[in-house]
Amino acid sequence: MQNIAIRISIQRVVVGAILMAAALIGGAIPAAADKHLRVASFSLPAALGNVHRSTSSSEIYIWAAIFDPLTLVDDDANAIPWLATRWETLDPLTWRFYLRPGVTFSNGEPFTSDAVITNLEYLISPQGKRESVSRVMTSIAAVKAVDDLTVDIVTHFPNIMLPRELAIARMVAPAQWRRLGPDGFAREPVGTGPFKVENWEANKIELSAFRGSWIAPKLDRLTFIKLPDPFTRAQAVLSDNADIAIVIGPEEVAALKDAGHTAHISRGAGAMGIAYLTDKGGPVADARVRLALNLAVNKERYIAAFLDGATIPASQATPSFATGFDPSLKPFPYDPDRARALLADAGYAGGFSLVAEAILGGSAADSAIFQYMAQDLAAVGVTLEIRGIPNSEMIRKVNFGGFDGQAYNIDFNVKPSLDALRPFVICLDRDRFYCDDDVISTVRAAQSEFDLDQRIALVRGILKKFHDDPPMLYMHETVMIDGLAARVRNYRPLNLIVNYHQIDLDDGS
């Protein structure tokens, strides 16, 4: 543990120097007399304002200030009204959604059924299928306007999760979208949310209040700043260069609290792990090796050391609050002796090297945790090398392949629907390391099962398969720790969706 601490300390001294240099060359964004919220994020959307391009947490975090979906999902996995005020089923394949009246986009366009049709028809079109959000919309067959504020959505198969799934489809201004196309719209985005874009740069996004929004904000301005390192983000709050630091660790929280600031801790939306690329062959293609790696890491110890006990070890490929979670499945115990025996039985008594790619700084204390895992794995003869890659590169490699190593960091994300089946639906249209014919068949059956209890039973069958023959080194259920300046008020994300319209700053700021 001493070596880990030394490496972290050296890294942080260097990063601190970089932050000071950035301030000297004018990188700081001073607070002004108006209510200006400054948010330090580990990344900004690679797709700019094309809200259909990604389902990444870091991008949704920002897009939520500009765009709204038809529904939201609360912490209990219930769909709740947003741009749609209510919905009903007309038959097993037809849902009717009633839209909120009086809503306008920031360019003056009215929000009507035209917007819903434009967005959803694009996502189910051949062109739209390249977008990440389209993979959550695979059940939709057609979208029809009943009138300006009523829409029917027809599905290919009965889909009890549709109202929850629509929480990922944020509405763009239809005329602007048709005029500019996806790439042009990405540079001039327009939504119904509480803020509108004024300036978009590589490392900074500047927004102003959209006073005509149906959820008009209390703030005047909102700026997102890209700072990839969590220590740097916390330092930005400490030096009054930011008001919120997204995704930091307990050490950063302690420093903030010592200075009179605070933190917000919320559950993430996934089960973190290192996914094995078994199709490349090598040691991880052997089931004994895959199990051994799970037994070799003491998850409870690193959770206590680096996450302040704020979460639990992952027992399966979904978090414990997701619909379909199987409480009968337990986390793998820490058993290094059995891990060594399994490795020897598989022919790797002398160990081997494992290269895994990961986004560093995107989850709480991830760098320290990976270093700790490397230490535990080294004790059984496995040399783990974590190679950091940008968020945009990870999205590309997950979607289209091209990983350089034998594994990569994954979180089996279930946001925003909180449906344990969600990560597995992509098996139906893209080759994945964990998809085989049995899994694909079960995914199809679960996807079209309208009886929730029967659906849950099918999903649990998939989760048990992945527990008994783990396709990943299970780590922990994700947790989000955000640092807040003392002047920030009413910061209450719902299922990782930030309530920008309700956030306020002390008048004395």
Q: In a structure prediction context, what are the per-residue pLDDT tens digits for the chain, which is 509 residues long?
A: 434 433 344 344 444 434 432 443 244 445 447 999 999 999 999 999 999 998 888 899 999 999 999 999 998 899 999 999 999 999 999 999 999 999 999 999 999 999 999 999 999 999 999 898 998 999 999 999 999 999 999 999 999 999 999 999 999 999 999 999 999 999 999 999 999 999 999 999 999 999 999 999 999 999 999 999 999 999 999 999 999 999 998 889 999 999 999 999 998 889 999 999 988 889 999 999 999 999 999 999 999 999 989 999 999 999 999 999 999 999 999 999 999 999 999 999 999 999 999 988 878 889 999 999 999 999 999 999 999 988 788 878 877 788 888 999 988 889 889 999 988 877 776 556 667 888 889 999 999 999 999 999 999 999 999 999 999 999 999 999 999 999 999 999 998 899 999 999 997 54
Cα three-residue angle 436-440-445, rounded to 5 degrees: 150
> CATH 3.40.190.10 spans which residues of the chain?
2-50+193-261+485-505, 71-179
Single-letter residue type at 159: N
**CB-based contacts of 145-148 (< 8 A; 24+ apart in sequence):** 145/113, 145/114, 145/117, 146/96, 146/113, 147/113, 148/99, 148/112, 148/113, 148/114
CA distance 293 to 475: 11
Among the listed residues 350, 331, 342, the one whose alpha carbon sits nearest the alpha carbon of residue 272: 331
Among the listed residues 267, 285, 283, the one whose alpha carbon sits nearest the alpha carbon of residue 325: 267
- DSSP code, position 104: B
Q: How far from the centroid of its chain's Cα atoms is residue 356's Cα? A: 19
Residues 227 and 40: beta-carbon distance below 8 Å: yes
How many residues are listed for the chain in this entry?
Answer: 509
For 106, the token pair is 């920031």
Please, what sign has the CA dihedral across residues 193, 198, 200, 201? negative
Residues 428 and 443: beta-carbon distance below 8 Å: yes
CA distance 137 to 167: 11
Beta bridge partners of 144: 152
Kindly indicate whether the domain formed by 268-479 is annotated with CATH number 3.10.105.10.
yes
Quick one: how many helices (H) and strands (E) in the chain? 15, 18
pLDDT at 269: 86
For the stretch 274-298, what's the b/e string if a residue is b when 16 or more beta carbons lie within 10 angstroms of its beta carbon?
bbbbbeeeebbebebbbbbbbbbbb
> CATH 3.10.105.10 spans which residues of the chain?
268-479
Q: What is the largest CA-CA distance in the chain?
A: 69
Residues 310 and 268: beta-carbon distance below 8 Å: no
The CATH code of the domain at 71-179 is 3.40.190.10
Kindly indicate whether the domain formed by 2-50+193-261+485-505 is annotated with CATH number 3.40.190.10.
yes
Instruction: Kindly tell me the burial class for residue 201, based on how many C-beta atoms sit within 10 Å of its own C-beta (0-12, 13-18, 19 or more).
Output: exposed
Q: Which residue has the tokens 């300036």?
A: 199
